[in-house]
Amino acid sequence: MSGTLPPLAVQLPAERWRTAPEDLLAYSFDGTAGLRQRPLAVGFPESAEEVAAILREADRTGTPVVTRGSGTGLSGGSVPVEDSIVLCTTRMNRILELDRQNLTLLAEPGVLTQAIHGEASAHGLFYPPDPSSQKISTIGGNVANNSGGLRGLKYGVTRDYVMGLEVVSPQGEIFWLGNKCVKDVAGYSLRDLYIGSEGTLGVITKVLLKLVPAPAAKRTLLATYDSMEAAAATVSAIIAEPVIPCTLEFLDRKTLQCVEEYTGIGLPTAAEALLFMETDGHPAAVAEEAEAMERIARGEGALEVRSASDGTEAARLGEARRSAFAALARLRPTTILEDATVPRSELARMIAFVAKTAEKHGLEVATFGHFGDGNLHPTFLTDERDPGEMERVHTAFAEIFEYALALGGTITGEHGVGISKREFLATQYDEGSLALLRQLKATLDPRGILNPGKLLPA
């Protein structure tokens, strides 16, 4: 145990504090490229009361606290700051209740997203949000980042399923916000304030989630194209039909090749673009929608449209799409992805702009994402050891964000601001709304101990 944290150390049994250099090293990063900082200590609380005791002491001593789930974040949200302690929620991992009458599930923040899916489906129910990191991301991390997923188009994002939260304030008070009521207009919706707050306002210690009935049927289609424009036209035509499928994802050629290399499931790697489409719900509706989607895809010049033969193949294809980001890391030493998002009508223009920008700066880029949501993931394949190239990557991202904003979009659709995008936030917010953000933070966390240096511009 290092001598630096006696005042905090007493709040947890010694074996739940880690201070050895190799432990600090192992908690010095999240899923974001190029960010690293060792904390002073890593603590593993097991209850809201323990969290409260630590925060009270941290607030008193002015010690920064960084909350961490599984550390898969892609904007540096759980990367420690200097002289901070990390609160890791992975030992708060119990599912506390599944209420069949009200269709809700109560869980501690360290429960893995996939475990929530599993518990819901064991009761014939469904928790739709499915970030690609679901097999390891925590529900607390999902709420704190308001994470999206492949099913966002039809089902929405994490926020749409949070009915209640237990939150610990930096002063060590434990609040319960929300309830099991479908309708509730009593006062400000404080619960919503904490969703997407990236660990800067409070620590989430319980999550009450809304569940829905599991869809009875599902169909999965793949369509390939010789141009991204044709894929985009298909998406527009499907939405205009109007059909809102559960999933409308796209991969460009480079992404497709990497994913195929990883999975070896026989994806058509010669295509310029691939659409991964799913519809779910009542069997009759699913059949009708799948037929419409296939007809439209062919009408827009798809090279090939194929349908998953069964649930196993559909699951394999979904898994393949989920591996896109990490599979791209095969190509170059450093992989940096962003999640600029535009109104879906503008997506094709945005994709073309990304390609042009990469070419202008002599950079290698691959793009994939959620076509239906207008949320794309331009991914630069680069090398952090080359400062010149990194500089060009930075410029390219600045141009991409600027263009996304000009199209009425946002700098981040689902990964959060964290460290990586805080300097760009000021371009999206006007001065007044930025001041409001700061005022809110100052009110709730006056000593600035929760995740300082994140979200808000310096």
Q: Please state, in angstroms and rounded to a whole number, the distance separating the CA atoms of residues 340 and 415.
A: 10
Given candidates 127, 225, 276, 325, which one binds other proteins under the rule CB under 8 A?
Answer: 325
Q: Any contact of residue 269 with other proteins (CB under 8 A)?
A: no
Q: Any contact of residue 67 with ligand FAD (CB under 6 A)?
A: yes
Helix H or strand E segment including 274:
strand 273-281
CA angle (120, 126, 130) in 5-degree steps: 100
Given candidates 45, 140, 164, 215, which one binds ligand FAD under the rule CB under 6 A?
Answer: 140
Q: Any contact of residue 302 with ligand FAD (CB under 6 A)?
A: no
Q: How far is the CB of 377 from ligand FAD (least distance, A)?
A: 9
Q: How far is the CB of 154 from other proteins (least distance, A)?
A: 25
CA angle (59, 63, 68) in 5-degree steps: 100
Q: Please state, in angstroms and rounded to a whole number, the distance separating the CA atoms of residues 376 and 380.
A: 13
Identify each DSSP E strand in 341-392 by its residue range: 364-370, 375-382
Q: Three-class SS of residue 390?
A: helix
Q: How far is the CB of 335 from ligand FAD (least distance, A)?
A: 10
Q: Please state, in angstroms and rounded to a whole number, the distance separating the CA atoms of residues 252 and 265.
A: 17
Residue number, 24 or 74, with CB nearest to ligand FAD: 74
Contact 339, 369 (CB under 8 A): yes
Q: How far is the CB of 206 from ligand FAD (least distance, A)?
A: 9
Q: Any contact of residue 31 with other proteins (CB under 8 A)?
A: yes
Q: Please state, in angstroms and rounded to a whole number, the distance separating the CA atoms of residues 381 and 366.
A: 8
When CB distances are held under 5 to 8 angstroms depending on the partner's kind, the choice from other proteins, ligand FAD, none that residue 329 binds is other proteins
Q: Please state, in angstroms and rounded to a whole number, the distance separating the CA atoms of residues 339 and 374.
A: 10
Residue tagged 């044709």 (tokens)? 230
Q: Any contact of residue 95 with other proteins (CB under 8 A)?
A: no
Work out the burial of residue 412: count CB atoms within 10 Å of its CB; fewer than 13 is exposed, 13-18 middle, 19 or more buried. Answer: buried
- Nearest CA-CA partner of 451 in 142, 148, 205, 203: 203
- Nearest CA-CA partner of 15 in 49, 53, 41, 47: 41
Q: How far is the CB of 51 from ligand FAD (least distance, A)?
A: 9
Identify each DSSP E strand in 151-197 by its residue range: 162-168, 174-178
Residue number, 149 or 452, with CB nearest to ligand FAD: 149
When CB distances are held under 5 to 8 angstroms depending on the partner's kind, the choice from ligand FAD, other proteins, none that residue 20 binds is other proteins
Given candidates 326, 363, 398, 437, which one binds other proteins under the rule CB under 8 A?
Answer: 326
Given candidates 82, 173, 261, 304, which one binds other proteins under the rule CB under 8 A?
Answer: 261
Residue number, 122 or 458, with CB nearest to other proteins: 122
Q: Any contact of residue 30 with other proteins (CB under 8 A)?
A: yes
When CB distances are held under 5 to 8 angstroms depending on the partner's kind, the choice from other proteins, ligand FAD, none that residue 29 binds is other proteins
Q: Any contact of residue 147 with other proteins (CB under 8 A)?
A: no
Q: Per residue in 203-231, is it b (16+ CB within 10 Å) or e — as a string?
A: bbbbbbbbbeeebeebbbbbbbbeebbbb
When CB distances are held under 5 to 8 angstroms depending on the partner's kind, the choice from other proteins, ligand FAD, none that residue 109 binds is ligand FAD
Residue number, 38 or 68, with CB nearest to ligand FAD: 68
Residue number, 146 or 300, with CB nearest to ligand FAD: 146
201-240: contacts with other proteins (CB under 8 A): none
Q: How far is the CB of 381 from ligand FAD (least distance, A)?
A: 15
Structure tokens at 379: 């991914």
Q: Please state, in angstroms and rounded to a whole number, the distance separating the CA atoms of residues 223 and 379.
A: 22
Residue number, 48 or 267, with CB nearest to ligand FAD: 48
Query: How many of the other CB atoms lie within 10 Å of CB of 105?
Result: 25
Q: How far is the CB of 267 from other proteins (least distance, A)?
A: 14
Give residues in contact with other proteins (CB under 8 A). Answer: 18, 20-23, 25-31, 33, 44, 70-72, 90-91, 112, 114, 133, 135-136, 261-262, 323, 325-327, 329-330, 333-335
Give residues in contact with ligand FAD (CB under 6 A). Answer: 30-31, 66-74, 77-78, 89, 109, 131-133, 137-138, 140-142, 144-145, 147-149, 198-199, 203-204, 325-326, 414-415, 451
